[in-house]
Every structure is written in C-alpha cells, then in structure tokens.
Amino acid sequence: MSALNNISLKVIGYWPDIFEERGIPDYLIKKYDKDIKGKIVNYLNSGVLLFSEFGHSFCRINCGIPDNLMGSGDLTDGVWSWPEGLAHYVEAHDILLPDDFLDSIKSKNYAFTATEDTMGRINLIKQNLKAFLYDNDKKDNMDMTYWNNWLNQKESNFLANNNKIHYIKMTNSNNKINTKAPLNIPGIKK
Ligand SMILES: [Zn+2]
C-alpha cells in the first residue's frame, strides 16, 4: 500500500484474558533498583500519544487505582508502543519488562527525545492507525508478536521448574471489568 507497510511498532504491555480474571503471575514481578525504576516510569510516561479510542484500562492486580488513572491511550517512542497504564504496573507493582526494551531505553539514558525523524515516523503511523483503527487487516503497524512470544517464553521458563502459577490479585477493592480490546486483537487487552 505504501511505505507505511515497512513501519511497525513493537507493542508491549498488553495482558492475556486470563490475567483479567486471575491477576498477574508472580514470575512477571521483579525487584527493581529504585532509581532505575523511577527512570523507567518517567520514560513510559513521556511517550507520544498514538491514539486513545477504547475507554479506560484497569489494573489487573485490582489494587484500587481508579480506571481513569490507568489511561485509555497507547504511547510510543517511534520504536516501541505501550498502553498508558503500563507505567502504573512498573511503579506500583514492579512488573517485569523485556530486557530488549529496558536495554533500548537505557542506551538513550532513559530520555525520550522527540527528534524530527521520530515525530515524522510517529505521525505517519498515527495517520494510518486513524484510517484503519477498526480494520483488523490493516493493523500491521502494531506488531504484537514480540510481546506475545516474550510472555509465552516467561511462562514456559517458569513452568519448566514449577507446576503451579501463583497469580497476584487483590480482592478488597471493587472489581470493574472493561471488556474493550484495542485494535480488535483477540485475547489481548491493555
Ligand atoms: Zn495496580
């Protein structure tokens, strides 16, 4: 169709349906260095808004944070894309992120710089997503493969040495369910 077909963002931070019911598996939790964690959270909060079309997300750990503070949009740095609420998972729940992502933002000293090149690329993707947001066949700019493989790998590694997954979910706050999925990707929600 156009040069846009060659641009794809690596998506991270979407959760399988089962996490909605059970919570987040504890093998996805990591002890961060506090300073580094602050820098990661700042970076996640500094991405450019790609789109915001699907209603508020909610915390899978059910910690009581209001849904509107979990955001409703998707952010990007021109290479990676993540839901607005991902910063909360890192900040409040120490949720692990892929080393590839962490290395890539570390190499930029945890600072997102909106260069002309990066913004040009992001604006092209934004236009394309806007045109095709509701068309499954045209969501090629958002690549979920990396993240899905990473999640599957984490689970397999864990199950190689353990036979039971412990999910973390709090039960003492009201339990809202938001069934809206971004980009109509089956089984994956932000
Ligand atoms: Zn939470």
22 alpha carbon to ligand 1 midpoint, in Å? 14
120 alpha carbon to ligand 1 midpoint, in Å? 34
86 alpha carbon to ligand 1 midpoint, in Å? 10
Q: What is the pTM of this model?
A: 0.84
**Residue ranges of E strands in 29-176:** 48-51, 74-76, 80-83, 142-143, 167-168
The predicted structure's pLDDT at residue 171: 82
Summarised one tens digit per residue, pLDDT across range 61-86 is 999 999 999 999 999 999 999 999 99
66 alpha carbon to ligand 1 midpoint, in Å? 9
User: Which protein residues have a CB closer than 5 Å to ligand 1 (ion)?
Assistant: 59, 61, 63, 65, 92
What is the rounded distance in angstroms from the CA atom of residue 165 to the CA atom of residue 25? 6
The predicted structure's pLDDT at residue 180: 34
Provide the β-strand partners of residue 155.
none
CA distances from 172 to 61, 94, 95, 169, 175 (A): 11, 20, 21, 9, 9
Summarised one tens digit per residue, pLDDT across range 107-149 is 999 999 999 999 999 998 888 877 665 555 556 688 899 999 9
pLDDT at 169 exceeding the cut of 90: yes
Provide the β-strand partners of residue 25.
167
117 alpha carbon to ligand 1 midpoint, in Å? 35
Q: The domain containing residue 177 runs over which residues?
A: 3-189
Q: What share of the chain in percent tops pLDDT 70? A: 81
The predicted structure's pLDDT at residue 185: 39
Summarised one tens digit per residue, pLDDT across range 26-48 is 999 998 999 999 999 999 999 99
87 alpha carbon to ligand 1 midpoint, in Å? 10
79 alpha carbon to ligand 1 midpoint, in Å? 26
Are 154 and 27 in contact by the 8 Å Cβ rule? The answer is: yes
Question: How many independent structural domains does the chain possess?
Answer: 1
108 alpha carbon to ligand 1 midpoint, in Å? 27
Q: Report which of 36, 2, 4 is spatially closest to residue 141, judged by C-alpha positions.
A: 4
